[in-house]
């Protein structure tokens, strides 16, 4: 990608020199991936990621294959070897990433200059830069995909007929073992044509024994097919974390001493693939497997320190990886400000594509986003379209935004009784802050959290955990699909409890209004907030507000009868959105909008979709586990990580967020019927004259009875 001239400033040139120095330092860095010894496997960012589990073999299309095939041919008529291709690709990726980062910084400075001076030159330059950013971003994403393909297509896998050898390699005494063949471990079915490389008669894994499914991780195409990531999401259905770790450690122990730098030997392939899988497991599932199981973590650290660190550098890398993962887990609960995040990102020597993409708050393609459910549902509101088309909708808003300063809301009255602040704030302001609060909770969840939710008591059309019952006392004996000794993180219960608290808060705010007029205002406000949320693809908060409005007490309020017709139609829109979300487990992954637009799904709806996939047996008549069933489950839950890659970057209003937290916490355990009983506005009032006439008629009838 050639960067066209945009009239760079002296500051931009200085950034260019700085990044060139970073590039030179990076090339000289001994631990840099692909630039070290070509015989050593790359241990930097080896987790396949959600796209591998979602797309499977289709993750790498024909364009990736052709690009990799032609890589390096411009320098020589002969095809280069894989190591030379790796070096050249890394250099290309480094250059494009550097240019992308420079352009993002330049755009931010130009945007600030435009806000101050509002000059015509900067205004005309911004649209060109936005288009260039999109092109550069697509280029970097494509190179990252090619790099990932090269990592997964490397030489450390074995052919399927060698898989029994993988199993035997981890046994100290193979004389007592009965001979195994591939057919006793794994079952396949044939496909007529593979969509990626046009091969015919490709075998697709259908089922396997637990030992066979673990052995298939060493298959040559396990990474390319998406099997490794799918396995990491779903292995708990047939294997405990301890058994899986011991399987990997046994293979490392039996092959580490005899493994050489010759990639053709089986021991070298098994040893290096074991390290690859172990690192991918730590990178992707540390929070759900190792952080919650100190014994498992201790076993791994002891093995690395005693048997691996003394032989090569792999041990130090894995220990460093564990420390980094632990630090991220400990720091995930501490919410730092956006200023701190920006400073940390600017100090990084080389940013990954993911961290750079976070700088773009809203993709340009968002301008074309119109959510239409039916004929009665129009496009997004005018104020939203104006905001989306503005330049500030493309890059992150400053943390000290004028949004807070320009707000006419007085927070001095925060302690007043009633939802006065909710009525004074605009629906868009409340939508943004509720979305940021919801994002904090959603970003802490993991795809594995949505598995085996029946065992946690999660049911359809009801809250997972009763208010009077602690999450620690939930019985895990109810339809537990995981192995009995498999430790399950129960964060999903916290996620659903938070959703229930917001729904209860919505209902409580409405029924505690002392006048019907104020109830109408608050009903309208919550409906507009919910509409704004689902238009911004925050389906979690939208469905939580809908649940609060559908509370039996709230639905019977007299205020609904005098609600404006246009506002009342939003209720039908929300119900249509709910039907849409429940219609298909992958409805939010259709098209390419989920890749560029931030999204927060409804946790309860997603858990119900997974439960539906979990219905039925997991094993065949011969005892083999149905991999096709597990693969579908992995594909559905992978969307959690997909949505977390595109965060919302609205300007946080910490005062408003604090107010919302206080109100939600105040009403989270409230009894709506009891609150409604103390408020006369919640009952249909009979006019005084009509009431007195009714009494007189009753007295006349009683008097006539006695005469």
pLDDT of 33 over the 70 cut: no
Highest mean pLDDT among 29-43, 315-329, 463-477, 619-633: 619-633
Query: Could you tell me the pLDDT band of residue 404, with boundaries at 50, 70 and 90?
Result: very low
Nearest CA-CA partner of 481 in 604, 637, 610: 610
pLDDT top residue among 223 and 685: 223
Query: Could you tell me the pLDDT band of residue 594, with boundaries at 50, 70 and 90?
Result: confident
Q: How far apart are CA 111 and CA 102, in angstroms?
A: 14
pLDDT of 19 over the 70 cut: no
Is 160-170+185-191+200-326 CATH 1.20.870.10?
Answer: yes
The token duo for 501 is 């608290």
Query: Could you tell me the pLDDT band of residue 230, with boundaries at 50, 70 and 90?
Result: very high
DSSP H or E run through 296: helix 294-303
Q: How confident is the model over 78-107, as a mean pLDDT?
A: 83
Q: Which residues, at least 6 apart from 703, have a Cβ–Cβ distance to it below 8 Å?
A: none
3-class SS string, 572-607: HHHHHHHHHHHHCCCHHHCCCHHHHCCCECCHHHHH
pLDDT digit string, tens, across residues 549-585: 999 999 999 999 999 999 999 999 999 999 999 999 9
* Residues 136/98, Cβ–Cβ less than 8 Å: no
Q: How far apart are CA 412 and CA 508, in angstroms?
A: 22
Q: How far is CA 549 from the centre of its chain?
A: 27
pLDDT top residue among 651 and 149: 651
* Residues 557/519, Cβ–Cβ less than 8 Å: yes
The token duo for 180 is 């195994």
Q: How far apart are CA 476 and CA 612, in angstroms?
A: 19
pLDDT of 89 over the 70 cut: yes
Q: What is the CA radius of gyration of the chain?
A: 29
DSSP H or E run through 201: strand 200-208
* Residues 99/140, Cβ–Cβ less than 8 Å: no
Query: Could you tell me the pLDDT band of residue 441, with boundaries at 50, 70 and 90?
Result: very high
Q: How confident is the model over 632-650, as a mean pLDDT?
A: 95
pLDDT of 463 over the 90 cut: no
* Residues 412/655, Cβ–Cβ less than 8 Å: no
pLDDT of 660 over the 60 cut: yes
Q: How confident is the model over 101-122, as a mean pLDDT?
A: 78
Q: How far apart are CA 438 and CA 440, in angstroms?
A: 5
* CATH 1.10.840.10, the chain: domain bounds: 425-463+486-678
Q: How confident is the model over 488-505, as a mean pLDDT?
A: 96
Nearest CA-CA partner of 506 in 466, 461, 544, 462: 544
* Collapsed DSSP state (helix, strand, coil) of residue 53: helix
pLDDT of 41 over the 60 cut: no
Q: What is the pLDDT of residue 47?
A: 76
Q: Which range (47-51, 129-133, 418-422) has the least confidence? A: 418-422
Q: What is the pLDDT of residue 69?
A: 81
The token duo for 592 is 């390419």
Q: How confident is the model over 188-192, as a mean pLDDT?
A: 80
Q: Which range (111-115, 234-238, 370-374, 377-381) has the least confidence? A: 377-381
Query: Could you tell me the pLDDT band of residue 39, with boundaries at 50, 70 and 90?
Result: very low
Q: Which range (74-83, 129-138, 386-395) has the least confidence? A: 386-395
Superfamily name and number for 425-463+486-678: Ras guanine-nucleotide exchange factors catalytic domain (1.10.840.10)
Highest mean pLDDT among 323-337, 597-611, 677-691: 597-611
Q: What is the pLDDT of residue 685?
A: 60
Q: Which residues, at least 6 apart from 375, have a Cβ–Cβ distance to it below 8 Å?
A: none
pLDDT top residue among 610 and 122: 610
pLDDT of 381 over the 60 cut: no
* Collapsed DSSP state (helix, strand, coil) of residue 186: strand
Q: What is the pLDDT of residue 154?
A: 61
* pLDDT over 70 percentage in the chain: 70
Q: Which range (36-50, 57-71, 155-169, 660-674) has the least confidence? A: 36-50
Q: Which range (553-562, 621-630, 686-695) has the least confidence? A: 686-695
pLDDT of 484 over the 60 cut: yes
* CATH 1.20.870.10, the chain: domain bounds: 160-170+185-191+200-326
Q: What angle do CA 59, 100, 653 make, to 5 degrees?
A: 95
Q: How confident is the model over 322-328, as a mean pLDDT?
A: 89
Q: How far apart are CA 389 and CA 506, in angstroms?
A: 31
Query: Could you tell me the pLDDT band of residue 653, with boundaries at 50, 70 and 90?
Result: very high
* Residues 449/639, Cβ–Cβ less than 8 Å: no
3-class SS string, 635-654: HHHCHHHHHHCCCCCCCCCH
Mean pLDDT of the chain: 77
Query: Left (φ > 0), alpha (ψ -120 to 50) or beta: where does 147 sit?
Result: alpha
Q: Report the DSSP pairing between strands 200-208 and 186-193.
A: antiparallel
Q: What is the pLDDT of residue 111?
A: 80
- In angstroms, what CA-CA distances link 624 with 12, 213, 414, 566? 60, 10, 61, 56
Query: Could you tell me the pLDDT band of residue 501, with boundaries at 50, 70 and 90?
Result: very high
Query: Could you tell me the pLDDT band of residue 38, with boundaries at 50, 70 and 90?
Result: very low
Query: Could you tell me the pLDDT band of residue 237, with boundaries at 50, 70 and 90?
Result: very high
pLDDT top residue among 682 and 321: 321
pTM above 0.85, yes or no: no
pLDDT top residue among 604 and 414: 604
Q: What is the pLDDT of residue 192?
A: 64
Q: How far apart are CA 280 and CA 453, in angstroms?
A: 25
pLDDT of 309 over the 80 cut: no
pLDDT top residue among 313 and 26: 313
pLDDT top residue among 116 and 469: 116
Query: Left (φ > 0), alpha (ψ -120 to 50) or beta: where does 34 sit?
Result: left
DSSP H or E run through 204: strand 200-208
Query: Could you tell me the pLDDT band of residue 703, with boundaries at 50, 70 and 90?
Result: confident
* Residues 484/588, Cβ–Cβ less than 8 Å: no
Q: What is the pLDDT of residue 359?
A: 45
Q: How far apart are CA 19 and CA 16, in angstroms?
A: 5
Per DSSP, which regions of 52-195 are E strands?
Answer: 186-193
């Amino acid at each position: 990608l050639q960067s066209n001239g945009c009239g760079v400033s002296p500051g931009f040139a200085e950034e260019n020199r700085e990044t060139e120095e970073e590039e030179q330092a990076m090339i000289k860095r001994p631990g840099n991936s692909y630039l070290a010894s070509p015989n050593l496997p790359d241990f930097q960012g080896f987790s396949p990621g959600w796209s591998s589990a979602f797309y499977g073999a289709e993750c790498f299309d024909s364009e990736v294959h052709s690009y990799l095939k032609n890589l390096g041919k411009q320098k020589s008529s002969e095809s280069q070897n894989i190591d030379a291709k790796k070096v050249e690709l890394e250099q290309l990726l480094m250059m494009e990433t550097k240019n992308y980062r420079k352009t993002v910084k330049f755009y931010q400075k130009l945007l600030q200059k435009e806000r101050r001076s509002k000059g015509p030159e900067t205004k005309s330059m911004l649209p060109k830069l936005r288009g260039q950013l999109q092109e550069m971003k697509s280029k970097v994403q494509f190179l990252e995909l090619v790099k990932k393909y090269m990592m997964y297509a490397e030489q450390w896998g074995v052919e399927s007929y060698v898989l029994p050898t993988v199993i035997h390699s981890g046994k100290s005494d193979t004389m007592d073992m009965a001979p195994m063949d591939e057919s006793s471990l794994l079952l396949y079915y044939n496909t007529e044509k593979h969509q990626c490389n046009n091969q015919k008669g490709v075998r697709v894994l259908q089922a396997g024994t637990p030992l066979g499914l673990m052995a298939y991780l060493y298959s040559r195409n396990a990474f390319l097919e998406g099997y490794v990531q799918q396995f990491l999401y779903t292995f708990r259905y047939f294997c405990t974390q301890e058994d899986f770790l011991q399987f990997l450690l046994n293979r490392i122990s039996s092959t580490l001493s005899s493994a050489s730098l010759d990639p053709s030997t089986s021991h070298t392939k098994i040893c290096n693939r074991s390290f690859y899988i172990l690192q991918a497991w730590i990178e992707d599932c540390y929070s759900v497997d190792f952080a919650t199981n100190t014994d498992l973590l201790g076993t791994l650290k002891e093995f690395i320190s005693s048997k691996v660190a003394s032989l090569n550098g792999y041990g130090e890398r894995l220990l460093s990886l564990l420390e980094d993962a632990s630090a991220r887990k400990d720091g995930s609960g501490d919410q730092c400000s956006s200023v701190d995040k920006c400073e940390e990102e600017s100090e990084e020597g080389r940013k990954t594509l993911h961290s750079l993409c976070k700088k773009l708050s809203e993709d340009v393609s968002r301008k074309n986003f119109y959510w239409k459910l039916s004929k009665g549902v129009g496009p997004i509101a005018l104020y939203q379209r104006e905001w989306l088309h503005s330049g500030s909708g493309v890059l992150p808003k400053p943390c000290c935004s004028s949004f807070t300063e320009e707000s006419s809301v007085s927070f001095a009255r925060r302690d007043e009784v009633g939802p006065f602040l909710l009525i004074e704030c605009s629906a868009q302001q409340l939508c943004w802050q509720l979305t940021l609060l919801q994002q904090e909770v959603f970003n802490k969840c993991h795809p594995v959290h949505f598995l085996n939710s029946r065992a946690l008591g999660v049911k359809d059309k009801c809250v997972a955990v009763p208010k009077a019952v602690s999450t620690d006392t939930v019985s895990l004996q109810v339809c537990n699909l995981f192995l009995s000794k498999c430790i399950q993180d129960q964060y999903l219960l916290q996620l659903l409890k938070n959703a229930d608290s917001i729904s209860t808060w919505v209902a409580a705010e409405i029924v505690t209004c002392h006048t019907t007029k104020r109830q109408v205002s608050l009903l309208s406000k919550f409906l507009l907030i919910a509409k704004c949320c689902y238009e911004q693809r925050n389906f979690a908060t939208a469905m939580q507000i809908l649940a609060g409005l559908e509370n039996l007490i709230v639905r019977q309020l007299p205020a609904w009868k005098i609600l404006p017709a246009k506002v009342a139609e939003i209720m039908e829109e929300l119900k249509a959105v709910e039907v849409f979300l429940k219609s298909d487990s992958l409805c939010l992954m259709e098209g390419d909008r989920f890749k560029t637009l931030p999204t927060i799904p409804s946790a309860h709806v997603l858990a119900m979709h997974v439960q539906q996939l979990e219905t039925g047996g997991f094993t065949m008549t011969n005892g083999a586990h149905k991999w096709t069933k597990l693969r579908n489950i992995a594909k559905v839950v992978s969307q959690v990580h997909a949505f977390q890659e595109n965060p919302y970057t609205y300007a946080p209003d910490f005062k408003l967020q604090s107010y919302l937290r206080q109100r939600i916490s105040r009403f989270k355990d409230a009894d709506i019927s009891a609150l409604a009983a103390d408020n006369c506005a919640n009952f249909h009032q009979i006019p005084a004259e009509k009431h007195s006439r009714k009494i007189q008629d009753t007295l006349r009838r009683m008097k006539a009875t006695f005469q």
